[in-house]
A and B are shown apart, each in its own frame.
Chain A
Amino acid sequence: MDSRVVFGAVVLSLMVVLAVVVPWFAPATTTDIGDVLATRLVSPFGRDSLGHWHVLGTDAFGRDLFVRLWVGARISLAVAVAGSALSGAIGIALGAVAGWSGGWIDRIIASAGDALLAIPRLVLLLVIAALWGPGLWVVIVVLGLTGWMAVMRLVRAEVQVVRGLSYVEGADALGVPSPRVLARHVLPNAVGSATVAITLGIGNAIVLESGLSFLGLGVQPPTASWGNMIAGGREWLLTAPWIALAPGVLLIATVVACTMLGEGLSEQRASRARSTEPQPDDVSADRQVHAGA
């Protein structure tokens, strides 16, 4: 087992567990806005004037920052995972269709992907979020619609390779219908590389969601997300920098964990494939395209 895979998996599992558990057990006084004047802007490890202790202090509305970080983690992680899953599904479907049918269908799908790649993803997200109005569901759908290109290319390449192999021809000759050949004999080969690309994409999606929310075009307060928490803390940067900086630390940790996990998995696959067959594409090359937020 690659140590990066272990590290990434452990950190991400810990994140998910804490995101589920912490808000669950947190008393209402830490999440609700109560006596604002008595509880606001407490510094880390400090006590508010009601005598409650706060590990990371409180924000401008007197909410406990540590608890709110994990409330935000729920949204940030869920949005990123849902967005990446959607883009993965679109990418696999389009890649399978393009690689399987070839000809003009292939050309249309491939050029649509190229055209979308030519526009920086953040700009695409901004434009669409602006036209359709900001919100949780818009962010998820938009992340899905703008992130499928890498997966599509991988699956397309894999399908093109496998399509020519003799066992596929054999299934074809036996009269197995095309959709079934595609689903049962061709696509399972592409799932591995697609999973790696989707894992790497989750890190990207978290950064992009936080960027949109930071600009006020993503998740809207009072719903907490790491991006809008950073935006909310910006006003207090000089007097209470922990409000804006703490969510970023968690965010970076999550993205690093996703990157490690994705890279570790991709290398495992590459070393396994070296003994069997050549890889159609290299996922780590796609990582060079910076998420840009």
Chain B
Amino acid sequence: MRRFSLRVFDALVLLWLVVTFTFALIHLAPGDPATLLVAPTATADEAARLRAQLGLDAALPVQYVRWVGGVLRGDLGESLTRAMPVTRVIAEALPVSLFLGGVSVLLTFVVGTLLGVWQALRARRLVDRVLSVLGTVLYSAPSFWLALALVTVFTSGMVWLEAPAWLRLPAFGMQDPGAAVPSWGDRWRHAVLPLIVLSVPGIAGVTRYARQSFRDAALAPHVTSAVARGLPTPRVEWHHIVRNALTPLVVLFGLTLPGVIAGSVFVEQVFAWPGLGRTMITAIAGRDYPVVLGLTLVYAAAVILSNLLADVLLWWLDPRQRDARPA
């Protein structure tokens, strides 16, 4: 329990560091947001009024305290380009990203683990080698390129191949433009390509990890002993190997999230899904600093929380971790 509370404390300190860091970033950047906002024809008086209105005239420590206080109250400021609080901008985009990210993480772990175990059982055979190479290639592919390649294949490519109509997938958007009532069937059809692009690098990573983890677990002495006792192979595989091999995968949960977040920036951009990633790009293009910083914080919090969750899960799943000395 002591170890657990230490972890929570670490996570809080980390969050505070990130909050401070985002504040430092915006004040280290050249120029100040007010000069970007006022019209070129504005008088010095008007510019000063805007600075006061945005709280930019106060001393840096005062601004810092205001920023941290705001974050604690759940107030991330006003969007500069859209007349609404940053929290509302984020809340509007969040469901789209949660849908894409959630389904993708689920796919990543289920498909990745199954493929990894399947591959480990065929280690050193031709399928294993082919899958390993394919995995390395897909893991290395930038998601925006993968997205464009898939769009080419499933739009003009399928027309060229004279494939049946259901194989021609929509290249962008969340639903058909003409649809009056959004239907889930239509939504899923539009989600196929984004989900593939978002999940494939993660699947490649988890497969690789699961394969190795399974192979390591298979070499443990208790497995040799189980085989020597004459237990049937499937029983050894499931009871003695898989259970031990899967626990380390929990750690990956925290590690895949940054990839999914980064991937979603490109996927939402290419496929025009109005989620957090696309909001980020729009805010950057519009120099909407409060939204950019708010999103950075949300992303960091998500990563820190998922790492904490992975720690707790590991602690709960693997009794050996409970006796380990606090890191």
Residue ranges of A at the interface with B (Cβ–Cβ < 8 Å): 111-112, 114-116, 118-124, 126-128, 130-132, 203, 207, 210-211, 214-215, 217, 227, 230, 233-234, 237-238, 241, 244-245, 247-248, 251-252, 255-256, 259-260, 288-293
Contacts and interface: CB of A to CB of B under 8 A. Distances in A.
A-B pairs with lowest CB-CB distance, top 10? A292-B262, A290-B259, A248-B145, A131-B29, A122-B262, A255-B140, A115-B17, A120-B258, A130-B284, A241-B152
A267 to B, nearest CB: 12
10 contacts: A115-B17, A118-B303, A121-B258, A132-B30, A248-B145, A252-B145, A290-B259, A292-B258, A292-B259, A293-B262
Contacts of A116: 21
A209 to B, nearest CB: 10
Contacts of B259: 120, 289-292
Nearest to B270: A234
Contacts, number: 152
B280 interface: yes
A290 B287 CA distance: 28
Contacts of B18: 115, 118-119
Contact of A210 (B136, B142, B256, B307): B142
Contacts of B281: 126, 215
B312 interface: no
A132 B29 contact: yes
B261 A207 contact: no
Which of A111, A260, A293 has most chain B Cβ within 10 Å?
Answer: A293
State the majority secondary structure of interface residues on A. Answer: helix
Interface residues of B, number: 53
Nearest to B147: A234
Contacts of B293: 127
A280 to B, nearest CB: 15
B234 to A, nearest CB: 29
A112 B20 CA distance: 11
B304 interface: yes
B145 A230 contact: yes
Interface stretch (B38-46, B98-106, B201-209, B219-227): B201-209
A131 B140 contact: no
A112 B14 CA distance: 9
Nearest to A119: B300
Nearest to B204: A290
Contacts of A241: 148, 152, 156
B203 to A, nearest CB: 11
Given A215-B281, A245-B152, A288-B252, A207 B300 contact: no
